[in-house]
Amino acid sequence: MPTMSRIGVLALLTLAPSACRSAAPPAGEPSAPGSSPVGEGDEPAFTPDGYLDATLPTRVSPAATDGQEGAPIGNYPNMYRRFGLSAGAAFYSNFDTTIRVDTDYLVGAVLDMEDFLGLDDNNLVARLDAFYAFSPRHRIDLGVYNISRDGTKYVGEDLQVGQVVIPAGDVDTSLDTLIVKLAYRYNFVADTRTAIGASFGLHTMGIDLALNSPEFEVSESFRATAPLPVFGLHGEYALSERWKLLASTELFQIDLGFAQGFVADNRLALEHDLFEHFGWGLAFNGFQLDGEFEDSPLTADLEYAYQGLLLYLRGYL
């Protein structure tokens, strides 16, 4: 398994032990009749709509809520929000991009986009993320961001790119990748302090590559949009009433005909609630792609990786 995916899985495993612990009442302090204290490993208290109610300090049977799934309460209001929206800036670095554009009868040159063609290996990216939870166990996530890079560099040899030859000389290059992520999440562990679950979704990636020789007016471009299905694991752990640790990993390795290859998207985040409906977060995000994409009559073999920090503001209900 690639290194990035191992990091994501290990980060999730650090959250798992908390799901196995439960709290017991101190010696000599009996529980109130018909109730039991809410601890880290307890089944949560319930409200009629399956959401947090700070007036319910004890555990309630799911049967008492007409089949509604419950939400943990206790002293951790930063768990199980119904809606959240975050906007921030990602400081991505260490870009490593290699691409080869072929036709059915011509094999293109292998192009190192940073070292050979001069694309920036650091980039500041605006990013939006949102979620809506139908219940504490069921949630939809959405994320959108666009990485746009360009560069100009003198190339001392002719380059076969797709159907054309880019002559030796100055070459202008641009590479845009628009990423839209949509996923369904299910928490199979949902106690007072810990949530652990799995996800399935689409990691849709739009690729727009253009190379141009301004001196000889020769250019080639490649465009493709690939909705890549991904499976993931995620976890959340409330460190306190205001601090929370989150980790997730999403993986894909499949052959769809028009797109095939491997994707790993890993994230480790720390979030803090400043006010009742507002907070901030800091995350480390690592991404790796090794795939083949078609834009008839062209085929692109792309290796693409980056990592960096994401600082964001959050609003939630």
Span 261-276, pLDDT tens digits: 889 999 999 999 999 9
Torsion 81-84-88-93 (CA) sign: positive
Residues with Cβ < 8 Å from 275, sequence gap 6 or more? none
Say which residue the tokens 């929206």 belong to: 85
Question: d(Cα 199, Cα 12) in Å, to the nearest integer?
Answer: 13
Claim: this prediction has a pTM higher than 0.85? no
Domain boundaries in the chain?
3-13+82-316
Say which residue the tokens 């002559």 belong to: 167
Query: What is the structure's pLDDT at 242?
Result: 95
Q: What is the mean pLDDT of residues 210-224?
A: 93
Query: What is the structure's pLDDT at 51?
Result: 52
DSSP state of 113: T
Question: d(Cα 7, Cα 305) in Å, to the nearest integer?
Answer: 15
What would the pLDDT profile of 165-182 be if each residue is shown by its tens digit?
999 999 999 999 999 999
CATH number attached to the domain at 3-13+82-316: 2.40.128.90
> pLDDT higher for 53 or 23?
53
Read off the pLDDT band of 295 (50, 70, 90): confident
Question: d(Cα 269, Cα 247) in Å, to the nearest integer?
Answer: 6
Give the residue among 49, 143, 134, 144 at the shortest CA–CA distance from 83: 134
Query: What is the structure's pLDDT at 115?
Result: 93
> 5-9, 132-136, 142-146, 302-306: which range is least confident on average?
5-9
Give CA separation, 240 vs 26, 86, 126, 280, in Å: 21, 21, 29, 15
Q: With the CA atoms of 98, 206, 250 and 307 taken in that order, what torsion angle do they form, in degrees rounded to the nearest 10?
A: 50
Question: d(Cα 164, Cα 6) in Å, to the nearest integer?
Answer: 40
What's the farthest any 2 CA atoms get from each other in the chain?
A: 88
| Average pLDDT across the chain, whole number | 82
What would the pLDDT profile of 119-172 be if each residue is shown by its tens digit?
998 999 999 999 999 999 999 999 999 999 999 999 999 999 999 999 999 999
Query: What is the structure's pLDDT at 226?
Result: 84
What would the pLDDT profile of 11-42 be if each residue is shown by its tens digit?
444 444 444 443 344 444 444 444 434 444 44
Question: d(Cα 229, Cα 207) in Å, to the nearest integer?
Answer: 16
Query: What is the structure's pLDDT at 259?
Result: 73
